Structure 1
């Protein structure tokens, strides 16, 4: 179990470092218009927008799955 936690933490850390480096590279080596196309107009809030989008998508998917399971098992036990 500790190996899994270690490797998961290492993967998350590597992902954060790679995304940070890639974003810095894009900011340094692309013209402003291309950067705005890739990162959006508000380039300082890319990470928070991405994280909030992921959380919103996860929550929406979780609720959809819960509703599906509720319908499936409610029908099974009521009928």
Structure 2
């Protein structure tokens, strides 16, 4: 159990470091117009916007799946 937690934590930490290094590399070696095209005009808030987008997509999928399950089981018990 502890090995899995350790390796998962190590993977998350490595992912964060890798993404931050890649983002710094892209910022240093691409022209401003290309960065604005990829990251948008507000380049300082990219991680927050990405996280907010992922959370909203997750909530949408969660509510859609819950609706499907409710319909399936309500049909089963009513008919």
TM-score strictly above 0.5: yes
Partner of 1:2: 2
- TM-score, L = length of structure 1: 0.93
Q: Hey, which bits of structure 1, 4+ residues long, moved more than 3 A? A: none
Deviation for aligned residue 1:48:
0.3
Residues 35-61 of structure 1, C-alpha deviations (whole Å, 9 max, x = no match): 111111100000000000000000100
Partner of 1:35: 35
Which segment drifts farther, 6-15 or 41-50?
6-15
Deviation for aligned residue 1:3:
2.1
CA RMSD of aligned residues (A): 0.9
CA distance in structure 1 between the partners assigned to 2:5 and 2:74 by the alignment: 36
Paired residue total: 79
Unaligned runs of 5+ in 2: none
CA distance in structure 2 between the partners assigned to 1:60 and 1:29 by the alignment: 36
Unaligned runs of 5+ in 1: none
Deviation for aligned residue 1:2:
2.1
- TM-score, L = length of structure 2: 0.93
Which segment drifts farther, 67-76 or 5-14?
5-14
Which segment drifts farther, 18-27 or 2-11?
2-11
